[in-house]
Amino acid sequence: MGESVQTTYDVIIVGGGPAGLCAALYSGRGMLNALLIERGLPGGELLNTDLIEDYIGFESVKGPELARLMTEHAKKFGAEVVMDTVEAIEQRPNGEFLVTTQLGKEYHAPAVILTAGGTPRKLGVPGEQEYAGRGVSYCAVCDGAFFKGEVLAVIGGGDAAVEEADYLTRYAEKVYIIHRRNELRASQILQDRAFKNPKIEFIWNKVVEEVEGEPRGVTRLKLNDTVSGEHSTLTVGGVFIFIGFTPNSGLIKGHFAHDASGYIVTDNHMMTSIPGLFAAGDLRVQLTRQITTAVGDATTAAIAVEKYLTDRAHQKAAPADEREAVASS
């Protein structure tokens, strides 16, 4: 994962989570000269996940361990991995892509697979930013151990919120799940687990208006009832926010097809509306976002890149062949 001297590749993979690592593996197997750029250690959200129990072949595996295995597997087939932050992906007039990074590097390739995932959505309320890292967190696995014996709040009603609340009960005295509606969006198996957990209590039809605290950290939340409009407070020692992710599709310079939330629209080969730019994983429009769907997308994208590059080479060679045929006739 050292500094790359080479600057031109067959394909550049942006993002090193499960999708990116799988794309790197298949690109290597396809004998493509591939570069994977990841802003941190490869693994993406796997590094922030304690136990994974829904990835086929692994009844139960630690997220960091699965990340390590995936990284080693990708490297075995020759993928080059560099640690840097991509700032822009831009298609040049000749159809090739220029990928620029925070460290001032410029990489070139005729194809790019974007697997950069997303970033946690913020509540956007007073105190959230002020107490970030001092009681406000977006990662239970990262920060849960710092809250032993505390009363905590988890904001959200989807899979991530319910799963992380369950995880936090191993450290916390009590965990409130605060949801703006009166029913969860999480899968039934996760709901059942949470409802049976004696340390979890649900607070329905409430939104956080403000995060309050002291110099040492968060002390309470101001809540608003979405039905009655009544205001209340909740004393907590920390708040974990899981209200979704914003796709990192803003790296793309130029217009591309996307939905109202910014998720990228692709065809069934994972190609975006920009020829040569493919997308896989969490930033693509799809029904669900799991490790299995991420690696499935990436497999398709990497194989589609092989075909795209072959077709592109034939198209570039065709005019010369035609001229030779005319000259010999």
Show Cβ contacts of residue 117 under 8 Å, excluding neighbours closer than 6 positions.
15, 17, 19, 44, 45, 245, 247, 248, 281, 282, 283
Q: How many whole angstroms separate alpha carbon 165 and alpha carbon 186? A: 12
Q: How many whole angstroms separate alpha carbon 114 and alpha carbon 16? A: 10
Show Cβ contacts of residue 77 under 8 Å, excluding neighbours closer than 6 positions.
24, 25, 27, 28, 29
Q: How many whole angstroms separate alpha carbon 100 and alpha carbon 307? A: 25
| 280: nearest Cα among 312, 247, 309 | 247
Residue 88 backbone dihedrals phi, psi, to 5 degrees: -160, 145
Catalytic entry in 54, 142, 259, 321? 142
Is residue 22 part of the annotated active site? The answer reads no
Q: How many whole angstroms separate alpha carbon 32 and alpha carbon 309? A: 10
Cα–Cα distance list, 281 to 44, 59, 284, 285, 307 (Å): 11, 22, 6, 9, 20
Q: Which amino acid is at 311?
A: D
Show Cβ contacts of residue 18 under 8 Å, excluding neighbours closer than 6 positions.
44, 46, 70, 281, 291, 294, 295, 298
* 8 A C-beta contact, residue 107 and residue 12: yes
Catalytic entry in 50, 54, 84, 143? 143
Show Cβ contacts of residue 6 under 8 Å, excluding neighbours closer than 6 positions.
35, 80
Catalytic entry in 10, 50, 139, 225? 139
Is residue 84 part of the annotated active site? The answer reads no
Q: Which amino acid is at 201?
A: E
Is residue 142 part of the annotated active site? The answer reads yes
Instruction: For residue 64, count CB atoms less than 10 angstroms from its CB and return exposed for 0-12, middle for 13-18, buried for 19 or more.
Output: middle
Give the torsion sign (CA, 13, 19, 23, 24).
positive
Q: Which residues are catalytic?
A: 139, 142-143
